[in-house]
Amino acid sequence: MAKIIMCQTGIALVSNTASDITGTILKITHFQNKNVSYFSTIFLYLSIKTVILKSMYKSKTNDSKPRWWKHLWIAVLLTTIASGVVGYLFLRVPLERTVGGLALTFLMIGFAYYIRIRPSRKMNRGLYVLLGISPIGFVLWVVLGLSGVGRLLTNYLGVWPSLIISFTVPYIIGAFIGDWLGKRRNYRLPLSP
């Protein structure tokens, strides 16, 4: 499908298909008019550029999901169901635990799908904070335990204050680190559309 733009200086034929965006065909045929103004030539150039940019934007928004996107989610759901069946039949997991685990897993899969389909800045910021709390905060907690600082806290403050400090401070620091990482990436998730 092509759009034809007519102006005082000539006719421009612009390809508007997503497959032909990289090699967009521009064919400008000038009339035999010798009194062509400079402004009408600039208008023709800008109108062609606008049509190209609009078609590129449309192709990016329509093709925001990769080809394997649908197959990935189908495979995740089928794998979850298969693991529930195997757990119940072969591993002798009670039925209520199997159903509860599958329900919780489906809830988390739906949450992950929602995050990828409708990304928002608040949701992405929350995910970066959770990223900071879980792996980064846990690593800081292990470093606190292995470095000997935990023993010093226990000697000076006692058992309960040192436990409270060791179970809160590393995770709070990890949350701030996760938020800082998200701020550096403008709260965009990897492979997000």
Judge whether residue 96 has pLDDT over 70. Answer: yes
Which is more confidently placed, 134 or 1? 134
- Answer whether 5's CB lies under 8 Å from 14's CB: yes
pLDDT score of 27: 37
The mean pLDDT value of the chain amounts to 75
Mean pLDDT (whole number) for 14-24: 40
Lowest model confidence (mean pLDDT) among 14-23, 130-139, 166-175: 14-23
**Residue reference for tokens 């928002």:** 120
